[in-house]
Structure 1
């Protein structure tokens, strides 16, 4: 089975390349700029038609949440129009598409976990552009699986875990927001889920396999709780650590509004695909161990 991943250098794309070896019979190819540029739809179609994959993983996105407030046209061009181009080209070669989306499609006002059927109400440009991308993908390719994930981290790229470890090398105390809650999610776990889903949808065209699913680390915490766990894990592995000073969202103003609660339920993923990610604390250990050189 051939899997084409759009987004060569992202956290999930690189994690997919890592995980592919554990899945016999899956050939993973990464595609990205300049050969494939979501701002240039012609390059998208040409690359997908040339590769003729069985499954396309749409993992590239405009993810600069605050910058998107100043560049809405670019955010929508990549996250909505670009996603549409990928889905259309995948449909043209009769390939299923697995498209990555975000918890930011929700307002954050709900008291508990969000299910896929809950009303969306993004509060920032990034979330709005990703929601439009979801709609575009679903309309362009009936064989779609849209995965909403959250708080993604890995040994690659820029992410919260790497930022906290870097700060711990410079200071003894770090101020971290404590009133935003969500599910830290390892890119390695996203990759594992994507490959499992890809194996199924490549062979199974049942409508029940398609649609929107949440894929996020099990268990919820605040950003401050996440930071404390990162520091505790790092300290046990001989890496840098710091004390966490809890602050409110109001004490750390950002251009884009973040949801106070973006906890996601993965029950539908378990019901349909028989799998859900492990507890986030377990996966976080593996990522921190790689970053600080532990075992």
Structure 2
């Protein structure tokens, strides 16, 4: 089985590379954005023509949430046009597409975990362009799995955990927002789930399984509680202060609540999901 992975130098792409040896039956093709630019339709078509993958995992994305507010065209090009290009090429080559989306497609006004059926209503450019990518895929190619996830971190790339560890080495005190609630997701756990979906689909293909799924680790916390746990696990002493969102203004508005309901992915694929604290303890930077 051939799986082509776009954006392979990002943290999810690197997490897939980290676990690839566990699946000798799979031929992974890891394509960094410098070699496969998903915004270039002909480049996508050439790669698919050469490798003929059965599955494509799209981890390429514009994820700079605040920068997207001043670079909306660039975010749209990668997150929407890029997703559409891949869907078109996947259709041409009968390749199943796995696409990573985000909790930022929601406005955060709900008080209970978001299901796959809840209305997407992003408040910022990043979430809006990711939503546009989802729609483009749905309208282009039915053989897709769109995985919405949240607060992704790992030992790879740039993420909240690594930022906290770096700042703790530079400062004696930190202030972190405590009124935005969500769920941290370890990228290695997410990578493992993507492979599980592919193996299940490959063994028992059914059109009924295609569509949108939520995935994150279990539980919920604020960014402040996430930071607290990172420092506790790493035995770091620092003066950590909780602050409201109003005390840390950013160009992009964040969802106040973006916990994802994961019943669907558990039921369809029989996935056991680890608590975010347990996963954080197992995966350190």
Q: TM-score, with normalisation over the residues of structure 1?
A: 0.94
- The equivalent of 1:74 in structure 2 is 74
Give yes or no for contact 1:143–1:205 (8 Å, CA) kept in 2. Answer: no
Give yes or no for contact 2:75–2:125 (8 Å, CA) kept in 1. Answer: yes
- The equivalent of 2:136 in structure 1 is 136
Secondary structure at the counterpart of residue 46 of structure 1: helix
Does residue 279 of the first structure (1) align with residue 275 of the second (2)? yes
Whole-Å Cα distance in 2 between the matches of residues 25 and 243 of structure 1? 49
- The equivalent of 2:188 in structure 1 is 188
Whole-Å Cα distance in 2 between the matches of residues 227 and 163 of structure 1? 10
Which is further off, 196-205 or 224-233?
196-205
Please list the CA deviations of residues 233-284 of structure 1 after superposition, one character each: whole Å capped at 9, or x if unmatched. Answer: 000xxxx442320000000000000000000011100011010431111111
Residue 164 of structure 1 deviates from its aligned partner by 0.5
Give yes or no for contact 2:39–2:85 (8 Å, CA) kept in 1. Answer: no
Residue 215 of structure 1 deviates from its aligned partner by 0.7
- The equivalent of 1:197 in structure 2 is 197
Which is further off, 115-124 or 132-141?
132-141
Whole-Å Cα distance in 1 between the matches of residues 33 and 43 of structure 2? 9
Residue 14 of structure 1 deviates from its aligned partner by 0.7
Residue 38 of structure 1 deviates from its aligned partner by 2.2
Where structure 1 has 5 or more consecutive residues not aligned to the other structure, the ranges are none
Task: Report the number of matched residues.
Answer: 285
Correspondences of 1:1-295 after superposition (within 5 Å): 1-235=1-235, 240-288=236-284, 291=285
Give yes or no for contact 2:6–2:33 (8 Å, CA) kept in 1. Answer: no
Whole-Å Cα distance in 2 between the matches of residues 108 and 276 of structure 1? 26
Whole-Å Cα distance in 2 between the matches of residues 6 and 277 of structure 1? 25
Where structure 2 has 5 or more consecutive residues not aligned to the other structure, the ranges are none
Give yes or no for contact 1:97–1:143 (8 Å, CA) kept in 2. Answer: yes
Whole-Å Cα distance in 1 between the matches of residues 65 and 233 of structure 2? 28
Whole-Å Cα distance in 1 between the matches of residues 267 and 190 of structure 2? 17
Give yes or no for contact 2:61–2:78 (8 Å, CA) kept in 1. Answer: yes
Runs of 4+ in 1 over 3 A off after TM superposition: none
Please list the CA deviations of residues 117-163 of structure 1 after superposition, one character each: whole Å capped at 9, or x if unmatched. Answer: 01110000000000010011122221100000000000111100001
Q: Over the residues paired in the alignment, what is the CA RMSD in angstroms?
A: 1.1
Whole-Å Cα distance in 2 between the matches of residues 241 and 168 of structure 1? 8
Whole-Å Cα distance in 2 between the matches of residues 209 and 244 of structure 1? 44
Q: TM-score, with normalisation over the residues of structure 2?
A: 0.97
